[in-house]
């Protein structure tokens, strides 16, 4: 993606409408973010590089490029296996590149990925780039940050609000290319309902806009739009790189249910454990076999 100004893209395939946008922020920094939007594969992602000029942007681009070259026609299990395998390869490659550049050089990146098939999704991530589900105007975070402040929140040391402004807010505990031998990705899965929307983003967006602002912007005329979200963050003087990918799952006939048409339990079901369901196709065997084959 472009390192200056707002870079955006819109795509439509099958039953998913997707848009992506990225901006370096207002502090004159290089853009170390990158994103992937491949509705034809049912595959989307955001990567937020770390390591500075000619390091962070290389790391995030490596991730996006290897995922962008995945072949079409894979089953859900094969896609999960392929994504994991390629990210493992990038992890090793970045470690080697860092070592070649000298001691203390870091070439790393976060990544958050969504794979969608039929009426199920899987989310894989490492680091603090995040995924959210917007269902009937209820916004739920799918991912849990791998960060120092998240660990502090979990221990009751600080609140969620304090975490955003904490001096260690940018310190991640896990990343692709970080100094560990093996890459550990987290995964959550869940069913998709007609009209569901998923947001993938780098932390530059969520540290600038509140959850309520994200819901309000996403509910405006014109639909779910990454450019709108990124532009709002830049208008709010986001100093970090800001990247978003939005995915809207279009039901047959193209009409999306209104919030009033869904009972509260249905609208909020994603927040009450449905993501941990084992039955769906994308909890699949990550060895490449189908979950229900």
pLDDT in tens, 208-258: 999 999 999 988 876 689 999 999 999 999 999 999 999 999 866 555 444
User: Rounded to whole angstroms, what are the CA distances from 274 to 18, 154, 189?
Assistant: 24, 21, 8
Q: Where are the domains of the chain?
A: 7-276
pLDDT at 124 over 50: yes
Sheet with 43-50, edge to edge strand ranges: 33-38, 43-50, 108-117, 120-126, 186-191
pLDDT at 280 over 80: no
CATH number assigned to the domain with residue range 7-276, chosen from the 4 options 3.60.40.10, 2.60.120.620, 3.90.1330.10, 3.90.1200.10: 3.60.40.10
**Least confident window among 22-26, 179-183, 192-196, 214-218:** 179-183
Give the confidence band of 14 by pLDDT, cuts at 50, 70, 90: low
> Which pLDDT does position 254 carry in this prediction?
54
User: Rounded to whole angstroms, what are the CA distances from 14 to 116, 117, 178, 189, 215?
Assistant: 11, 11, 36, 21, 25
* C-alpha torsion sign, points 67, 72, 77, 82: negative
162 vs 157: CA distance, rounded Å: 10
> Which pLDDT does position 157 carry in this prediction?
84
Question: pLDDT tens across 30-48, in order?
Answer: 999 999 999 999 999 999 9
Question: pLDDT tens across 18-27, in order?
Answer: 999 999 999 9
> Which pLDDT does position 208 carry in this prediction?
94
> Which pLDDT does position 13 carry in this prediction?
57
**Residues whose CB is less than 8 angstroms from the CB of residue 17 and which lie 6 or more positions away in sequence, other chains included:** 11, 39, 223, 224, 247, 248, 250
**Residues whose CB is less than 8 angstroms from the CB of residue 279 and which lie 6 or more positions away in sequence, other chains included:** none
Q: E strands of the chain, at which residues?
A: 7-13, 16-23, 33-38, 43-50, 108-117, 120-126, 130-135, 138-141, 186-191, 197-201, 242-249
Q: Tell me the two tokens of residue 123.
A: 């989310």
* 59 compared with 12, residue with greater pLDDT: 59
- Backbone φ and ψ of 45, nearest 5°: -165, 160
Mean pLDDT of the chain: 83
């Amino acid at each position: 993606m472009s390192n200056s100004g707002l870079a955006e893209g819109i795509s439509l395939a099958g039953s998913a409408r997707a848009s992506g946008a990225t901006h370096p922020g207002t502090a004159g920094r290089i853009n170390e973010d990158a994103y992937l939007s491949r509705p034809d594969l049912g595959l989307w992602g955001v990567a937020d590089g770390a390591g500075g000029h000619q390091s962070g942007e290389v790391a995030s681009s490596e991730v996006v490029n290897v995922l962008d070259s995945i072949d079409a026609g894979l089953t859900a299990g094969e896609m999960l296996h392929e994504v994991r395998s390629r990210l493992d390869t990038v992890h090793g490659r970045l470690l080697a590149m860092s070592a070649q550049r000298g001691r203390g050089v870091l070439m790393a990146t976060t990544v958050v990925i969504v794979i969608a098939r039929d009426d199920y999704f899987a989310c894989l991530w490492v680091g603090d780039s995040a995924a959210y589900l917007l269902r009937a105007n209820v916004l739920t975070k799918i991912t849990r940050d791998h960060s120092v402040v998240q660990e502090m929140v979990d221990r009751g040391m600080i609140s969620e609000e304090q975490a955003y402004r904490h001096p260690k807010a940018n310190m991640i505990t896990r990343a692709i290319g970080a100094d560990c031998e093996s890459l550990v990705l987290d995964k959550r899965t869940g069913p998709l309902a007609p009209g569901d929307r998923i947001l993938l983003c780098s932390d530059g967006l969520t540290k600038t806009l509140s959850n309520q602002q994200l819901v309000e912007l996403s509910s405006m005329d014109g639909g779910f739009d990454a450019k709108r979200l990124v532009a709002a963050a830049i208008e709010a003087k986001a100093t970090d790189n800001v990247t978003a990918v939005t995915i809207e799952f279009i039901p047959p006939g193209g009409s999306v249910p209104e919030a009033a048409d869904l009972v509260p339990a249905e609208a909020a079901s994603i927040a009450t454990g449905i993501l941990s369901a084992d039955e769906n196709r994308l909890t699949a065997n990550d060895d490449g076999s189908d979950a229900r084959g």
